[in-house]
Structure 1
Amino acid sequence: MKWSLSAAKTFRKCQREWYFRHCLASPTANDPARRDAFNLGKLQTVAGWRGSVVDDIISRTVVGTLKARKMPETGGVLSEARRIFDMQLDTARKHPLREPDMPVSSWGRSYAALASVEYGDGPTMDEIDRAWTEISEALRNLLRRRNFLERLSAAKILMPQRTLQYADYGVTVVVVPDLVAFYEDEPPAIVDWKTHAVGTSDAWLQLAIYSSALRRCKPHKDFPEAPSARAPDEIRLVEVQLLLDRMRRHELDDEDRASADDYIAESATAMLAALDGRKGHELAVEDFPASPFETVCENCVFKRICWERQA
């Protein structure tokens, strides 16, 4: 079984949503119910889609420019962001879930699916305008941090959205840091971009899990060093709150790292207990309790198939 922080949070919030998203969903299965669950799992809120556009532009355009030892220009970055935004908005309005014969991969970067289209009248113009304003603001705030970008540009290797995984606790732990930077004569750095409109999220747990995965995973062929040789406190952890224009360096101690390990172990144990040794085809939706909170159900992207099965 694969474990991720997002899966753990989903399991804690609603085991039935976890079942739909991580057990039932499949893009390649012949079973229409499994493909439907996969497609529903791609639905996003407007705020979630906004964050995805920001992540995409930073990973491809901003980091791509830094890799070439150049500084990204605001005009060019925003122009590309607007192109992707408009292209994905057009796809979202067409609602790709209505095209079951077109796999997600066939849409390329144009793919976007919004929960408000599946379950309502779609995003309002105010929501769309606000999404673009916040995308623009987030990217402008990052691009103004020239010293920080120059430090990233000086890295030997920049790895955006690189999957790291290792086996422990009876599961395969899988993480995808926003950015890993390796330097010639300095320890690696992990950067996590946040697009929250309010500063209520502390990314220490996420970054602690990323740091552990970087040290414990099998080094990729293009790693310039073996991160396992680094002491746990050597790997630098940076959280960038893009909308709030704040940057924070996380300094973790042994207790923090132990807490992160305990979180994974306890979560993985609960998930494995829920599966009880069964494979996907042996599982039934009734085996996984739904959240008792109405707001969780109302905002769930799987409510159509969940409610159909309860009818």
Structure 2
Amino acid sequence: MKWSLSSAKTFRKCQRQWYFRNVFASPTAKDPERRAAFLLGKLQSVASWRGSVVDEVISGTIVGSLKSRQLPERQEAIAFARKIFDMQLATAKKNPLREPDMPVASWGRSYAALFSVEYGDGPTAEEIETAWREVVAAIENLLRHRGLLNRLLGAKSLFAQRPLQYQAYGVTVVGVPDLIAFYENEAPAIIDWKAHAVGSSDAWLQLAIYAGALVKCTPHKDFPENPSLRESADIRLLEVQLLIDRIRNHELDDEDRAAAEDYIADSASTMLTAIDGRKLADMSPDDFSSSPFDGVCADCSFKRICWETNA
């Protein structure tokens, strides 16, 4: 079983939602309900979609420029963002869930699926306009951080959205940092981009998990050798809040790192207990409790199949 921070948060919020997303859903299963669950799991709010557009712009153009030892240009980044934004909005309005037999990969960069299209009337013009303004603001704020960009220019190598995984506590722990920067004679850095309008998120736990994964994982073949990397404490952890234009440097102590390990161990144990060694054929949604929190069902991507199952 794979474990990630997002799956742990989902399990805590609603075990049944976790079941549909992490156990039942499948892009390749012949069962149309499992395929439907996979597609429903791709639904995003307008805000989360806007954040994914920003991530794609950073990975697709800004990091590419830095790898070429050039500072990224605003005009190029904004033009790329506009292209991605418009393509994905057009796809989302068509609702790709209406074409369940078309593989997600075949959509390429144009794929996007919005919760408000599947379960409502779609995003309003004001929501779309706000989303675009925030995409531009996030990109411009990042490009103004010349100190950060110059530090990344000096990296030996940069890896965007590179999965890290290792075995622990009976599960496969998975983390996907937004950016890993390796240096010649110093410890690497892990950077997490955030695009929250209020900037209230503190990513210390997420970054601590990434740092542990970078130390413990089997390195990708193109990762450079880095003799200075011995402990997760060596790794610099940066949380970049793009909309409120703030950078947080997280310096974790032994207690923080122990807390992160305890979080993984406790969460993994609870998930494994819920599954209890069973295969999918021996499980049903009723085996997993629904959310005890108000409002979760209304915003759940899987409510259609969940409610049909329990009709």
TM-score by length of 1: 0.98
* Offset at residue 231 of structure 1 (A): 2.9
Q: Partner of 2:15 in structure 1? A: 15
* Offset at residue 227 of structure 1 (A): 6.8
Percentage of identical aligned residues: 68
Q: Partner of 2:115 in structure 1? A: 115
Q: Partner of 1:283 in structure 2? A: 283
> Over residues 229-259 of structure 1, what are the superposed CA-to-partner deviations in whole Å (9 max), with x where a residue is unaligned?
4233211000000000000110000000000
| Contact 2:199/2:243 (8 A) holds in 1 | no
> Over residues 168-212 of structure 1, what are the superposed CA-to-partner deviations in whole Å (9 max), with x where a residue is unaligned?
001000000000000011110000000011122110000000000
Measured in 2, the distance between the counterparts of 1:189 and 1:123 equals 37
244-253 or 217-226, which deviates more: 217-226
Measured in 1, the distance between the counterparts of 2:130 and 2:143 equals 20
* Offset at residue 294 of structure 1 (A): 3.5
Q: Partner of 1:57 in structure 2? A: 57
Q: CA RMSD in A?
A: 1.0
Q: Partner of 1:157 in structure 2? A: 157
1:29-68 superposed matches below 5 A: 29-68=29-68
| Contact 1:215/1:227 (8 A) holds in 2 | no
Q: Partner of 2:304 in structure 1? A: 304
Paired residue type of 1:93: K
Secondary structure, in 3 states, of the residue corresponding to 1:296? coil
Q: Are 2:217 and 1:223 equivalent residues in the alignment?
A: no
| Contact 2:229/2:235 (8 A) holds in 1 | no
1:147–1:10 CA distance, 2 compared to 1 (3 A): same
- 5+ long unaligned stretches in structure 2: none
| Contact 2:186/2:228 (8 A) holds in 1 | no
Paired residue type of 1:258: A
| Contact 2:187/2:228 (8 A) holds in 1 | no
> Over residues 272-311 of structure 1, what are the superposed CA-to-partner deviations in whole Å (9 max), with x where a residue is unaligned?
0000001122210100011133400000010111111111
Measured in 2, the distance between the counterparts of 1:86 and 1:256 equals 42
| Contact 2:239/2:247 (8 A) holds in 1 | yes
Measured in 1, the distance between the counterparts of 2:209 and 2:225 equals 20
Measured in 1, the distance between the counterparts of 2:85 and 2:229 equals 42
| Contact 1:214/1:227 (8 A) holds in 2 | no
Q: Partner of 1:211 in structure 2? A: 211
Q: Are 2:255 and 1:255 equivalent residues in the alignment?
A: yes
Equivalences, count: 311
Q: Partner of 1:25 in structure 2? A: 25
> Over residues 96-130 of structure 1, what are the superposed CA-to-partner deviations in whole Å (9 max), with x where a residue is unaligned?
00011211111000000000000000000000000
Paired residue type of 2:167: A
| Contact 2:233/2:253 (8 A) holds in 1 | yes
Measured in 2, the distance between the counterparts of 1:175 and 1:293 equals 27
| Contact 1:219/1:227 (8 A) holds in 2 | no
Q: Partner of 1:194 in structure 2? A: 194
Measured in 2, the distance between the counterparts of 1:108 and 1:227 equals 38
- 5+ long unaligned stretches in structure 1: none
Measured in 2, the distance between the counterparts of 1:76 and 1:232 equals 36
Q: Partner of 1:96 in structure 2? A: 96
